[in-house]
């Protein structure tokens, strides 16, 4: 098959959670540009609808639905809405993240709240969407983790800034989602579902100058991630071009950990 056909997402129904966020918007854009019908879902429907309308005005097939992944009924409602409006699900990008904990010394209740959304809720939505994909004949799940799920924090990046110590919950649940990826790749194989994860490095978001200096000098490509960086790997994993990539975690950090 021609590689352009292998990478083509025409006719694929794709769900991206947190599609109005930093990486989420780029993921939605890349998958829609490759021809997919993309549904973005998060708690704030109005925000999602704005993003979707903007994409549709540029000629892409993007829609918004609502979900709170920490609420089981909300996850089931999303599943029913996708079935009702789109009939099937071929690709699920498990991208949402909540950041309720700020720093090492924050109250332990913040850690528990993080687990409610980023561990329990994340598991709930990936299992329900996996079931829907199974009913649809199979597909591809892409879990978005982070380089912080693979390595400890490099505290020297924060020297000279007031950014504080990175929160422990993030390192815990980002690491968990990588091994859950391997688990799901085996357990969902009989439903013809491939499961992979992508572990990006930091996204440029106007961080303090000193942080950017500390960070970028450690990255062989010399910068933080931009709007285009994650698109290619998402299309690869979502499409038939990635048909033999399964149970893998792809680090996308500009070479920072080379």
Contact residues: ligand NAD, CB under 6 A: 17-18, 20-24, 42-44, 67-70, 95-98, 117, 121, 144, 146, 174, 200, 202-203
Q: Which residue is nearest to ligand NAD (CB)?
A: 21
Bridge partners (DSSP) of residue 198 are 144, 250
Helix (H) or strand (E) holding 42: strand 37-42
Return the number of the residue (95 or 239) whose C-beta is nearest ligand NAD. 95
In the sheet that holds 62-66, the strands lie side by side as: 62-66, 37-42, 13-17, 91-94, 139-144, 193-200, 249-252
Return the number of the residue (189 or 212) whose C-beta is nearest ligand NAD. 212
Shortest distance, position 35 Cβ to ligand NAD, whole Å:
23
233: nearest Cα among 22, 34, 15: 34
Contact 189, 171 (CB under 8 A): no
Shortest distance, position 6 Cβ to ligand NAD, whole Å:
26
Residue 38 has phi, psi (to 5 degrees) of -115, 130
Shortest distance, position 4 Cβ to ligand NAD, whole Å:
28
Shortest distance, position 165 Cβ to ligand NAD, whole Å:
17
Shortest distance, position 253 Cβ to ligand NAD, whole Å:
9
Cα–Cα distances (Å) from 8 to 17, 37, 96, 209, 250, in that order, read: 21, 12, 25, 39, 21
Shortest distance, position 219 Cβ to ligand NAD, whole Å:
13
Residue 199 has phi, psi (to 5 degrees) of -115, 90
Contact 51, 122 (CB under 8 A): no
Return the number of the residue (18 or 242) whose C-beta is nearest ligand NAD. 18
Return the number of the residue (103 or 137) whose C-beta is nearest ligand NAD. 103
Return the number of the residue (242 or 254) whose C-beta is nearest ligand NAD. 254
Contact 215, 163 (CB under 8 A): no
Q: Which residues 6+ apart lie within 8 Å of 1 measured at CB?
A: 240
At 151 the three-state DSSP class reads coil
Return the number of the residue (8 or 202) whose C-beta is nearest ligand NAD. 202
């Amino acid at each position: 098959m021609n590689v352009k056909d292998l990478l083509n997402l025409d006719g694929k129904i794709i769900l991206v959670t947190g599609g109005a966020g930093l990486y989420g918007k780029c993921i939605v854009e890349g998958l829609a540009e490759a021809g997919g019908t993309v549904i973005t879902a998060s708690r704030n429907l109005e925000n999602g609808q704005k993003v979707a309308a903007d994409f549709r005005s540029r000629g892409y097939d993007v829609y918004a639905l609502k979900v709170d992944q920490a609420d089981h009924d909300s996850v089931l409602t999303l599943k029913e809405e996708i079935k009702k409006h789109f009939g099937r699900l071929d690709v699920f990008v498990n991208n949402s993240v909540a950041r309720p904990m700020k720093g090492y010394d924050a109250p332990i209740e913040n850690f528990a709240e993080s687990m409610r959304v980023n561990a329990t809720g994340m598991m709930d939505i990936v299992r329900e969407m996996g079931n829907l994909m199974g009913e649809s004949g199979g597909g591809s799940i892409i879990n978005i983790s982070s380089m912080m799920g693979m390595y400890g924090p490099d505290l020297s990046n924060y020297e000279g800034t007031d950014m504080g110590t990175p929160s422990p919950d993030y390192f815990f649940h980002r690491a968990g989602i990588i091994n859950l990826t391997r688990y799901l790749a085996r357990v969902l194989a009989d439903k013809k579902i491939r499961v992979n994860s992508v572990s990006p490095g930091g996204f440029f978001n106007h961080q303090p100058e000193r942080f950017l200096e500390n960070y970028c000098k450690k990255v062989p490509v010399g910068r933080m991630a931009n709007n285009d960086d994650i698109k290619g790997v998402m299309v690869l994993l979502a499409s038939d071009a990635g048909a033999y990539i399964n149970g893998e975690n792809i680090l996308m950090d500009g070479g920072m950990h080379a």
